[in-house]
Amino acid sequence: MAKKESFAVIGLGQFGAAICKSLVRAGQEVLAVDLNEAVINDFAGLVMRAVIADARDEDAMKELDIGHYDHVYISIGKQIETSIMATLIAKDLGAKDVICRAENRNHARVLERIGADTVVRPEHDLAERLVFSKLHPSVLDYVRISKSLTLAEIEVLNPAFFDKTLDELDFRSRYQVNVLVLVDKDDQLIQLPQGSDHLHPHDKLTVIGPIEAVGELNDLLQQH
């Protein structure tokens, strides 16, 4: 079971509800906050605590001790003003990790400016993930870090890379990526591999770099 931390989810629309349920399935204790009494009643038996409160009310958030939660999810996407106020209040009260759902690009930019630690646009992010997966179907997994940076796991199938050391291949200079993890054919995981480590058929590399560079490297590693 995952390590237990404290979570608050503010706004129980589709996104917030999904976050709550995922956290509960992971064995975490969750404070759920929403203005809608009917919604709160639905979650009362699911989460540790479900409270009717206005996220724009600093006194109410202070009473709920929002600033002391390890992670605060603010999933009030369509109510942009409320989302912004809730984010400001959570950060002012000392919340260490505030994750916000944004409705559009401008909303996301404002949330980032006022201190949100992570901003997600679920529909936008899903669309980009689907497109990347279609364009690079051989990428085993990837995570978008920022607008231009991605983390991806790629399998080594190109014989031109076999039995070469990481120093010889010089991924940083040649391909503009850094190798963070190497998983060999025996599923042995090597974190921060050394330049003397060799690549073999079906090794898996976790690399970080610009999205375009990662895509080009993936295409190259798949040639066989």
Domain boundary among 81, 102, 120: 120
Q: Percentage of residues in the chain with pLDDT exceeding 90? A: 60
Please check whether residues 130 and 96 belong to one and the same domain.
no
**Which residue type is seen at 218?**
N
d(CA 70, CA 80): 24
In the predicted model, is pLDDT for residue 54 greater than 90? yes
pLDDT of residue 144: 67
Q: How far is CA 11 from CA 43, 51, 175, 204, in A?
A: 12, 11, 43, 39
Local confidence band at 12 (pLDDT 50, 70, 90 cut-offs)? very high
Residue 213: how many CB atoms within 10 A of its CB? 19
pLDDT at 1: 43
Residue 198 lies inside a defined structural domain of this protein: yes
**Boundary of a domain, candidates 65, 91, 120:** 120
To which residue do tokens 């010889």 refer? 168
- Residue 90 CA to residue 62 CA, distance in Å, equals 9
Assigned domain for 116 exists: yes
Residue 140 belongs to domain spanning: 125-221
pLDDT tens track for 77-92: 778 999 999 999 999 9
123 pLDDT above the threshold of 80: no
Residue bearing the bigger pLDDT, 77 or 171: 171
Give domain status of residue 203, yes or no. Answer: yes
Q: Is the pTM of this model over 0.75?
A: no
Residue 1 lies in a domain: no
Instruction: Verify that 27 and 78 share a domain, yes or no.
Output: yes
Other CB atoms within 10 Å distance of the CB of residue 28 = 20
Last residue of a domain, one of 89, 120, 151: 120
Residue 138: pLDDT over 70: no
| Domains in the chain, number | 2
What CATH number is given to the structural domain containing 146?
A: 3.30.70.1450
**Strand order, beta sheet including 178-183:** 141-144, 149-155, 204-210, 178-183, 189-191
In sequence order, the β-bridge partners of residue 6 are 29
Percentage of the chain beyond pLDDT 70 is 92
